[in-house]
Amino acid sequence: MSTDTLRKSAPASSVTRAAAGALIAAVHTAAVRIGFTAAIAVTDQGGHLKAFDRADDAPFLTAEVALDEAWTAASFLLPTHTWNDHLADPRVAPLAGHPRLVAVGGGHPIIENGRCIGGLGISGGSAEQDQQAAEEALTALGFEVPGHRPAIGGTCGLPTASTDRSVPMASRPPPSGRPHPACADDAGDGASP
């Protein structure tokens, strides 16, 4: 193989410190409005901690959970609330034993221009409250929030097969064109998420 044609690196964008701080502030604002206090972790695209804050009265365990939610979201490019459906698949179920995998709401990949630039993890409220605060903060700062509505072609656009981070997320359809388990109901096949 010629080194002239061998691709030796890929560009990797990362959430900035300023954006991470702004996300933390937006999450605290959303959490107060929703009615809970939180620990918030922001990681880079490789799952490494970029910024963190914990409200004074948030339980200490929320710190570890928030970091692991952000890591899970950045690692697999999926919101953490979708993981229970994925873990129901016997081929994926062994991942449940991974010590950092978190399968409850509150973790979201941070997506800019179709590419994952980090992970956001929130812990302190219920799974639904954490998820809501994450989605509100990401939306408030103009980041893309993977939804449950199928994109053109009947898939939601969330990745399942490709882990090539240089490929925009919307270009990674699920295998066989089927929607993700969490998006199946929205695709109209009658399955519940």
pLDDT of residue 162: 39
pLDDT of residue 4: 73
- Entry pTM: 0.76
pLDDT of residue 147: 62
Q: Name the token pair of 113.
A: 């221009």
Cα–Cα distance between 167 and 173 in angstroms, integer?
11
Q: What sign has the CA pseudo-torsion 81, 85, 91, 96? A: positive
- Higher-pLDDT residue of 8 and 66 is 66
> Percent of the chain scored above 70 by pLDDT?
74
Q: What is the mean pLDDT of residues 5-27?
A: 93
Contact by Cβ (8 Å): 175, 161: yes
Question: pLDDT tens digit string along 99-135?
Answer: 999 999 999 999 999 999 999 999 999 999 999 999 9
Instruction: Say how many C-beta atoms besides its own lie within 10 A of residue 77's C-beta.
Output: 21
DSSP string, 27-61: HHHHHHHHT---EEEEEETTS-EEEEEE-TTS-TH
Q: Which of 110, 187, 107, 180 is nearest to 145 (CA)?
A: 110
Look at residue 36 and tell me whether its pLDDT is greater than 70.
yes
pLDDT of residue 39: 98
pLDDT band (50, 70, 90) for residue 41:
very high
Q: What letter would DSSP give residue 70?
A: H
pLDDT of residue 146: 73
Instruction: Say how many C-beta atoms besides its own lie within 10 A of residue 73's C-beta.
Output: 32
Q: Please name each of the domains of the chain with its CATH number.
A: 17-146 (3.30.450.150), 147-193 (no CATH)
Average pLDDT, the chain: 81
Question: pLDDT tens digit string along 48-65?
Answer: 999 999 999 999 999 999
pLDDT band (50, 70, 90) for residue 22:
very high
pLDDT of residue 3: 61
Gyration radius of the chain's alpha carbons: 17
Question: pLDDT tens digit string along 125-174?
Answer: 999 999 999 999 999 999 999 763 333 333 333 344 334 444 444 444 43
pLDDT of residue 5: 84
pLDDT of residue 1: 55
DSSP string, 106-155: TEEEEEETTEEEEEEEEESS-HHHHHHHHHHHHHHTT-B---SS--TTS-
